[in-house]
Amino acid sequence: MRFFIVLAQILSTVFRPTYYPMIGFIILMNATYLTLLPWSFKLAILAMVYVFTIALPAGTIYIYRRIQKWSRHELRHQQKRWVPYIVYLICYIACMQLMMALRLPRFMINIIAVSALIQCSCILINMKWKISTHSAGSGGVIGALLAYSTIFSFNPVWWLCLAIFVSGLVMTSRMLLRQHSLWQVLSGTAVGILCGYYGIILI
C-alpha cells in the first residue's frame, strides 16, 4: 500500500494543474503542422509558456508565502487558496497579452485562455463545493485534443488514449491521497473537458 501512496504523490506532483498549458503546447507541436516549424521557434515558445505559467507564478507565490510566514500546507486552506489562483490568472493574462503582441496564432493563445477558464471555473465551484483542479486540468487536455482534432483534421486516437490514461491515473492518485472523493474528481474532469473543448472552439 505504501508503494501506491508514494506513486500517487509522484503523479500528483508531476501532473499538477499548472503544468497542463506546457503539456498542451508540447502536444500541439507534435500533433499538428507545427512540427514543420524550426526547433528554435518552438523552443522559444515553450520557454515563454514555461516562464509565465510555471516559473513566474511559482516564484511569486513562494515569495508571498515567505513574507506571510505561511507553510506550504496553509495555502490549501479554502480562505487562502485565492492567492495562488489570482497569481496564476494574472500570469496567464500577461502571457496572452505577450502572445497577442507577438501576433502568434489564436489557436496557440487559446491554450492559455482555456487554462485561465478552467482556473476561473474551479474558483467559482470551490466557493460552494470542493472540486479537483488536478482532474480539471487533465480533463482540459482531453477536451482541447478533441477540439484541435476537429480544427486541424488530424486523428487524435493515440494522443487521446494517452490523455485519458493519464487522467485516470491522476483521478486515482487524488482519491488514494484522500484529497478528493470520486464525485469530486469526476466533476473536475467533466469541467475540464467542457472548458477545454468549448473554450478552443468558441474563443
pLDDT digits (tens, 9 = 90+) for 44-82: 999 999 999 999 998 988 887 777 776 666 556 655 667
Rounded to 5 degrees, φ, ψ at 153 are 55, 50
* Whole-number average pLDDT of the chain: 86
Which residue range is the domain that position 68 belongs to?
2-202
* C-alpha to C-alpha distance for 118 and 188, rounded to whole angstroms: 9
* C-alpha to C-alpha distance for 47 and 34, rounded to whole angstroms: 16
Residue 150 confidence class, pLDDT cut points 50, 70, 90 = confident
Q: Name the pTM for this structure.
A: 0.83
Q: What's the whole-number mean pLDDT along residues 3-30?
A: 84
Looking at the 3D structure of the chain, how many domains does it have? Answer: 1
**35-73 core/surface letters (b: 16 or more CB in 10 A; e: else):** eeeeeeebeebeebbebbbbebbbebbeeebeeeeeeee
Give the model's pLDDT for residue 106: 87
